[in-house]
Chains A and B, each alone.
Chain A
């Protein structure tokens, strides 16, 4: 087909019609954004009007005022005379306390159950399947109330259950033996953390050298020095005391030891068991996504089963597992806000009390959103970094 003049003209028309498409696009955008802005402006003017009618001043000035709300279960020093800012910080720490510990425990439990579901032992895999099905299909809030009621039904402190010496389970919560943390102990812990980081860096270098010359290098002597010997020396040098204090029953309550309040304990159990059911399914499907040939090839090499699982299958499964796992971690963090139903004072519960006391609804909810968006962003960034690290490197 030769290009003739009418053909060219038609092309020009086509180009013109394209730009007409762009114009409709522009009109659409202006209309949609205009409507959105109008709705927001309408709501905002109503809010300003209503707030001034109720004599509530907008802004975050209220944060500096005395909160006057009691917070029972906290790791930070707090009294009702402190400001709202302080109360919010205590709430954030309480949220993180439940979320971080919950994520760690749910990951461990969920992975074990996910692997149990694939066990060749029929009874074990059936039991794991029942666990998953039962916990996934009942609302978390109901499970939380259930655990809390069970917790309240426990015997009083006087007649507490003692499954192991020094561990008490009563309607006051779970009391565990603990080590009092002094400054010297903190230094030792810091040494261990530094040692772990050094070990991690060292491991990378050793692996790189092993890849270069093929010689196997041992890591455990370094581990022994960095994580065991060095902290032990520091501990001896500073004279840190590691005596475990056993909780004792005095009067109606416990003295010494670490107490997990029934609210916290119920929330933790509910979050961990519920989320572990989802994590188990993710781990199971991740392992199943590893092609059968990988098992066969590893078996053909005569590798041990535990070795095959740890070094061949799980690393490959992780690539499938990480993205959905991230959203489970986010879910657990968001679900920790159910604390309000049992009276554990996390950030949402404190914001709610603030809202009722001061009427600063917009500010309180904006603070909740800010806190959770920050936590979500933090988890997503970390998991994306981890995901990029374990991603398949194609040569």
Chain B
């Protein structure tokens, strides 16, 4: 609480050291202004450097100097002897295929790998402003179809692989992406319904959104895994992954509806009036005039919702679906490797981090663009 710069946009405080201390080179001046501007600031800097140094040194010792990078086969003796002092990175090359692709047939694992690359390409294309057109819907449909073919196979000479053998990163990406692809239109409809003048439709939408947002995602997933079969007629048996996927669509729909509703509220009243004056029907008015503006308003919060949603897919661990986190947790059940779960969790955390960090960077850039 000691030192707050008056203007956060400006890293230099008003009575900065720069004005008082004209001497010294750029580096010295920078250090004076940013690390040693006052006695408290200098004190904080010194304490932080000491703490940071200690932490970094022990991290480097654990993660690099004392670490074991490879062991022959399952002979983890070398790892066990440095336990607590050094990391056992040997677990990663040993287990990464299982962590990334689960129990997918080993010689066919290029297919989920290709599916993951398709996902990444799809995200990349969707993030380009020049692709924000109607054709994007077609690109999505084509990409999702391609992913379906790659994962299931059964045609074009690809052997059929059933859903229970899918696992790892592709499952995480499928849950997140399909959840968004179907949750987004649902969210739009519900957001429109919540702002509708028709009381019955409005209250139905409010009920749906508040019910889903009011309870933890886990209870929805329990519902999907336990209650869903009860609600189906006899003989209808829906796959576990699909049931979780439906829960995710409903979940994403409710949260996206709230974000889109915020965007709808930001569209000026005059736009509605102008569209009405042109005699456009309700759907044409919203599809051509209101929604394009509303969604543009809320792109940064939408990306933030995507990030939260991507992280939330990891909850399927609790109902036993093999996503990235579940495969990671399963890979260390093996007694030989059991003590090295920290290394595996760090590896998986890195993957999640890369995806989320890329999205959050992107969202921040968009925000900066819309502000100017």
Contacts and interface: CB of A to CB of B under 8 A. Distances in A.
Partners in one complex: yes
Interface of A: 25, 28-30, 32-33, 36, 43, 46-47, 49-51, 112, 115, 118-124, 127, 133-134, 136-143, 145-146, 149-150, 153, 284, 287-288, 292, 295-296, 299, 305-306, 309, 334-335, 337-338, 340-341, 348, 351-352, 355, 361-362, 365, 368-369, 372-373, 376
Contacts, number: 188
**Shortest Cβ-Cβ A-B pairs, 6 listed:** A137-B356, A122-B34, A337-B216, A139-B311, A29-B200, A120-B5
Interface in B132-181: none
Nearest to B344: A149
Interface in B26-84: 34-35, 37, 41, 44-45, 48-49, 52, 84
B312 A139 contact: yes
A46 B231 contact: yes
Contact of A119 (B4, B198, B216, B219): B4
A362 B218 contact: no
B352 interface: yes
A185 B360 CA distance: 50
25 contacts: A33-B204, A50-B230, A50-B231, A119-B44, A120-B4, A120-B12, A121-B34, A136-B356, A137-B311, A142-B325, A142-B348, A142-B349, A146-B346, A146-B349, A149-B345, A287-B8, A296-B6, A306-B1, A334-B217, A337-B216, A355-B226, A361-B226, A362-B227, A372-B215, A372-B216
Contact of A369 (B201, B219, B226, B318): B219
A338 B217 CA distance: 9
B289 interface: no
A25 B197 contact: yes
Interface in B306-321: 307, 311-312, 314-315, 317-318
Contacts of B114: none
A122 B349 contact: no
A337 B200 CA distance: 33
Q: How large is the interface on B (under 10, 10 to 19, 20 to 34, 35 or more residues)?
A: 35 or more
Contact of A137 (B41, B219, B223, B360): B360
A299 B6 contact: yes
Nearest to B4: A118
B41 A341 contact: no
B214 A376 contact: yes
Contacts of B353: 134, 137-138
Contacts of A123: 34-35, 44-45, 48-49, 52
Contacts of A305: 3-4
Nearest to A28: B198
Contacts of B41: 120-121
Contacts of B25: none
A141 B325 contact: yes
B216 A335 contact: yes
B230 A124 contact: no
